[in-house]
Amino acid sequence: MLHLIEKNRLSLVGMVFATILVVGACEKETPPPDVEGDLSDILYNPQAYAIAKPANFPAIPIPADNPMTADAVQLGRRLFYDPILSADSTMSCASCHLPENSFTDISTFSVGIDGIAGHRNSMSLLNIAYVTDGLFWDGRAPTLEAQALVPVEDVIELHNTWPNVVGKLKNHPTYPTLFRKAFGINDRTEITKELAAKAIAQFERILISSGKSKFDEFMSGNIDIFDEEELDGKLMFFDEGQDYNLPDAQCFHCHGGVTLTGGKFFNNGLDSVGSLAEFKDLGLFKTTGNPNDKGKFRATTMRNIALTAPYMHDGRFQTLEQVINQYDDNGFGVVNEGAFLNNIGFPNGDGTYTGLTNYQKNALVKFLHTLTDTVFVKNPDILNPF
């Protein structure tokens, strides 16, 4: 009996030892993260990516050190939607830039992973590739690549560190291969925050209008698509209504160009302050240090504006009607206010202006709704890949 017990014990030991050998052999098949060249057997064959855009849109600026490739765009798309970028893996870039809302947020202030709200409304990313004068409301990021680095380490937003994110990406079952295909790295130790930011920036550059909005159809020659109010709103927006006895609503000065973005910075007359130093949010001044830039913020795109409420840098307005009424009040006379805020309506002959009638305000709002591009927000190429 004792002999049988000992025999069984030896058999069990042998089985355990054999299992250890098998497991050890399996582990050797997957190189640990620090093995040099562990990705070099994966094909790197970058294919140039041509960004789809309407024919009348200008060429999209592409930095020489981050050429567009199909694999890098797809990597950026995954990173944009992946909560792996946040400290607790609960939020992604898309949490505050929702595609159905033209890549902005429906909250006045977006709330980060710790339940803390920021102090500015998230901006739309539509046509963000054309913005070259500084990103964010205050222009503090010169490029999309620089902008993509910020939310990860912002203590209110994703509240992570890039070393932690890069560590997770290196040890991920999929991302090392995707970085290899996108940027030709030879092993996972070459994954960096800069490469991650380049990929996210490439994805953001493809967020271009489809050219299929009602406004675009009108501009392409289908003039019967607009009703009378929409047409009047367009004429006032672009100051084209002189022959129709319509006033200048002064919109296009800040929201001009084919993307209706402008991309410049303005004090748009929101706050009544006794001096420039009294602005609660100093805006562009934080970036430039120029006192005249206090209270100035980047003008947003008007395309898809009906999908992006609430409005203004601090999300103070819930409706387009409230926005129009604010501008119709002609600002507060602060020294650096936009030059056209006091010129809305017809001139009275004494340096003042009439403002807009209720019909004219409603016509402007109706026109702004023609800028809605549902084809863009439903484009499967820009939606969550998971």
Q: What is the pLDDT of residue 35?
A: 74
Sequence-ordered list of residues with C-beta below 8 angstroms from that of 213, at least 6 positions apart, any chain: 303, 370, 371, 372, 373, 375
Domains in the chain (CATH in brackets) are: 70-209 (1.10.760.10), 214-370 (1.10.760.10)
Q: What is the pLDDT of residue 171?
A: 97
Average pLDDT over residues 275-290: 95
Q: What are 302-316's pLDDT values in tens digits?
A: 999 999 999 999 999
How confident is the model over 91-117, as a mean pLDDT?
Answer: 97
pLDDT at 262: 76
**pLDDT at residue 21, rounded to an integer:** 38
Tell me which of 91-105, 221-235, 259-273 is least confident.
259-273
Q: Is the pLDDT of residue 59 over 70?
A: yes
Mean pLDDT of the chain: 92
Model confidence over 163-193: pLDDT tens digits? 999 999 999 999 999 999 999 999 999 999 9
Q: Is the pLDDT of residue 11 over 90?
A: no
Q: How far apart are CA 176 and CA 184, in angstroms?
A: 10
**Cα-trace Rg, the chain:** 27
User: Looking at residue 34, what DSSP letter applies?
Assistant: T
- Residue pair 345/353 in contact (Cβ under 8 Å)? The answer is yes
Report the distance separating Cα 143 and Cα 125, nearest Å. 13
Q: Which of 69-73, 247-251, 262-266, 352-356 has the lowest mean pLDDT?
A: 262-266
pLDDT of residue 339: 87
Whether the Cβ atoms of residue 144 and residue 157 lie closer than 8 Å to each other: no
Whole-model pTM?
0.90
- Mapped onto helix, strand or coil, the DSSP state of residue 293 is helix
pLDDT > 50? residue 273: yes
Sign (positive/negative) of CA torsion 22, 28, 32, 38?
A: negative
Q: Which of 89, 88, 94, 50 is nearest to 69 (CA)?
A: 50
Three-class DSSP category at 141: strand
pLDDT of residue 229: 98
Cα 185 to chain centroid distance, Å, stands at 27
Q: Would you state the pLDDT for residue 9?
A: 41
pLDDT digits (tens, 9 = 90+) for 15-39: 433 443 333 333 444 556 667 889 9
Confidence of residue 82 (pLDDT cuts 50, 70, 90): very high
| Kind and range of the H or E run holding 266 | strand 265-266
Q: Within the chain, how many helices (H) and strands (E) appear?
A: 12, 2
User: Phi/psi at 368 (nearest 5 deg)?
Assistant: -60, -30
114 pLDDT higher than 90: yes
In three-state secondary structure terms, 146 is helix
Whether pLDDT at 362 is above 50: yes
Question: In this predicted structure, what is the pLDDT of residue 212?
Answer: 98
